[in-house]
Structure 1
């Protein structure tokens, strides 16, 4: 899937499988990715502000920065590469708390 630069703000994607998708520069603000599989997805310059990544698999996500992840709504139960998770838990522990329903 190639959605370079697409506008998907506020979309509800429950359990989507986007393995290896190319989402470079995609606008994903407020998108609900609950329990998504985003492993090996290219997220270079993607805007993830207030995105719900609860339970999302982000292992191996490409071009995904700590800065991008610091702006999401939640990473509760998300799967992350260890180095990303450690850095995020140190700087932004609230991202890993259970979100309000």
Structure 2
């Protein structure tokens, strides 16, 4: 199920984002701790809640069995700002559904 994100999702959504970056984006950060640290520095529950309040940003979450497995975001103009998935939920069409 894909739905609009809300402030109660912040902690779980940020865990999804962080795991996705740490485990699935290795080709980008090459496990370089300084690069990874910079990339993750703004991926906090506080910032997620701030992103939710942006009038130009729409955040979505996908749930499976009641747990968030993917987080997506886009601007009103259609620019994708977030598209992250739990490693265990890959190859199930969730990321594609999030951007449709």
- Structure showing the higher helix proportion among its residues: 2
Please state which band the TM-score falls in when normalised by the shorter chain: under 0.3
TM-score (norm 1): 0.23
Structure showing greater radius of gyration is 2
TM-score (norm 2): 0.23
